[in-house]
Structures are given as structure tokens and as C-alpha cells.
Amino acid sequence: MTPAAAGFVVGIDIGGTGSRAAIAPLGGGPRFELAGPRVAVTADGSTAGELAHGLLAGLRAARPAEFAAVAGCGVGATGLASLVADPAALAASLRASLADSGAASGESGGRVGGPAPAVAVAIDAVTAHLGALGGESGAIVALGTGAIAFGSDGREIWHRVDGWGHLLGDRGGGAWIGRRALEAALLAHDGVDASGAALLAAARARFGEPASWPAQLYTRDDRAGVLAGFVPDVVALAADGDGAALAIVSAAGAEAARSAAAALVPGLAPRVAATGGLFGAGGALVERFRATLAELRPDAELRAPAGDPLDGALRLAERAARGELVARAPSLWLG
């Protein structure tokens, strides 16, 4: 069977720690993946659009025949609703890029004269939900560099909680943990509260002397990712019983549970999936998350995620290819 006959979909996941893209057969099968840089936020907004186009170019170069036969593309990106000026225009530009590639690759079994691929771009919570719950009704909470919760039935209910970025929200996420850990470290450095002494030592080992920290963070477009880079040290100290680190990690779990409970609005099935790299750390964060969610929503089933946001982006691409989607701004836009 030729690539054009089989059909392919592209999924793209863009976050504060890094970005990924995959191309896979429509309907499932072995996939090819690429990794890319993390998103940055400049004075002009998010670099999510540049990253998406760059990942598409990488897939085109690595898998030209499959790329020419792409029927759908799904993109999930952090900050899409608030830091990208026109997500619908981004979807249209991605669709145009895919259409041009198909027309230029007719000799490889491409899509000459056929319809342009369908493109859907969504906030990262949508693809996290599709990956974790596979399209079922319920809520997810995703903890990575940022944090966001999302409740949906896949049809009428689309309810977002948090995802406001590392300055205004992202409660319980990696940047949130890193920032609070550095704040505790500076309190120890200033002689205000010695409980953060172990965090201060760990931060010195990673970032150097405290006087250099503002220049390392305030001038960076990817400062959320830099903050989240301190999380492994904080989690390790918490596991060793350091009180200050343990309090921060535990509070992150509680915040994630509060967001998940808020996303589980009436009309949704009482199920929650926790996804994102931070939950993989286990320990105090997960324990506090479970305990707090049980207090807030004792009726809710806590389910292990079926897949990750890249799986969700591929599922979004399949739905786009089959014409099953309707635009749902400010969560989902179609090209």
C-alpha cells in the first residue's frame, strides 16, 4: 500500500520543557518522532508558531513520502490562547504549508490536486485531555513546566482551569515549584528564614551565586523552563525529608487537586486523569494530590492516563482529518 493510499496524520506537542512531533498512519500504527526546543515568550508573544512550522519542516525532510500524504495535523501548545495573536491564522498557515508540500511531492505519491490537509490547533489542555482520557468525558490536570486543568465531554462542555503562565498562575507546575524553591533559598541567603538552607545550597550548585540569579532569569525568554529546571533538585530534597522542599512539593500536589476538582463541572463523568512529567516523580506531590482530590471530590474516579499529550495531538489530527471537529475558541481553532 502506498503512503498516499494509507494516509498519515501529524501530531505536535509544544511546551515549556520542549516540543515533539510525530507522523503516524491514519488509524494507528508505528510512528516517527522528532524532538524540538522549548517554547519561548518574547515581547512579540509566544514562539509556538515558529516551533510548529519548524517541526513540520523536520518531518518533511525526514519522511517526505509520508508527509506528502498527510490528511490531518493536530497541534497542542502552551499559551496558545493568550500568547499567540491569532491561533486561527496559525492553523491556516500550517494547512497551507502542508498543502504546498503535498503538491510539490506528487512524484512520491503525494496529494496532487486533492484536498488540503485538515489542521486543528488547540491549547495544550485539549491534547492532554485527548491523550489521557481518549475522548471520554471527565477532567484532566496536567503538570509540566506549567499547569492547567480541563474538563470536557468532547462535545458541549469545554471548561479550562488555570494555565495562566508562570507569573499569574500555573499553580503546582514546574515553574511554580522552581520559583517558590528559589524564593525560599533567597530567604535563607538573606538570613530571614534558615529553613531553606538546603534549597540554597542546591540552587548555588545549579545556578551559581544568588546575585547572578536575576540576570539569569529576568532576561530569558524561556524563564519558565529555567525555573522548572530546578524541580529535580527540589523533589530530591523533599524525598530526603527536607522540610522546606517537602512543603513546596506537597503544596504543588494540593494545588493540582484543587484545579482538577474545579474542572470537574456538572455534566461531566466523575473521572480525573493526572498527566504530565511532574506526576511521574511520585512521592509527596502525588500523595497530597490524591488526598486533596479525595477530600474535594470523593465521588471521582482517579484514572491512570491512557496516553500523553503527543498521543492526544495525533488523536486531534485524526478527528480533524475525519471532519469531526467544530472550532471552540478559546480552546480549539481549525485551519
Grid cell of 144 as nine digits = 509540566
Shared domain for 54 and 119, answered yes or no, is yes
The answer to whether 260 and 294 are in contact (CB under 8 A) is no
Residue 30 has pLDDT above 70, yes or no: yes
Q: pLDDT tens for residues 54-65? A: 999 999 999 999
Do residues 133 and 306 make contact, with C-beta atoms less than 8 angstroms apart?
yes
Residues 83 and 211 both lie in one domain: no
Q: Over the stretch 240-278, which tens digit does the pLDDT of each residue have?
A: 999 999 999 999 999 999 999 999 999 999 999 999 888
Selection from 61, 8, 56 nearest residue 36 by Cα: 56
CATH number for 49: 3.30.420.40
Please tell me whether residue 71 adopts helix, strand or coil conformation: strand
- Distance (Å, rounded) from C-alpha 121 to C-alpha 95? 11
Same domain, 276 and 148: yes
Does 112 lie in the same domain as 92?
A: yes
Dump strand ranges (E) for the chain: 8-14, 19-25, 32-36, 41-42, 45-46, 70-77, 118-123, 138-143, 147-152, 158-162, 271-275, 301-303, 332-334
User: Residue 294, CB half-sphere, CA atoms under 13 Å: how many?
Assistant: 6
Total domains, the chain:
2
d(CA 271, CA 242): 33
Q: Which of 179, 120, 119 is nearest to 147 (CA)?
A: 179
Other Cβ atoms within 10 Å of 239 Cβ, number: 15
**Containing domain of residue 193, as a range?**
143-303
- Minimal CA–CA distance to 21: which of 8, 6, 7, 31? 31
Spatial separation of the C-alpha atoms in residues 223 and 217, rounded to whole Å: 5
Global pTM reads: 0.85
Regarding whether 316 and 299 lie in a shared domain, the answer is no
In this prediction, residues 20-42 reach a mean pLDDT of 88
| pLDDT tier, 85 (very low <50, low <70, confident <90, very high otherwise) | confident
Mean pLDDT of 195-223: 93
- Whether residues 218 and 299 share a domain: the answer is yes
70 and 116 inside one domain: yes
Residues 158 and 12 occupy one common structural domain: no
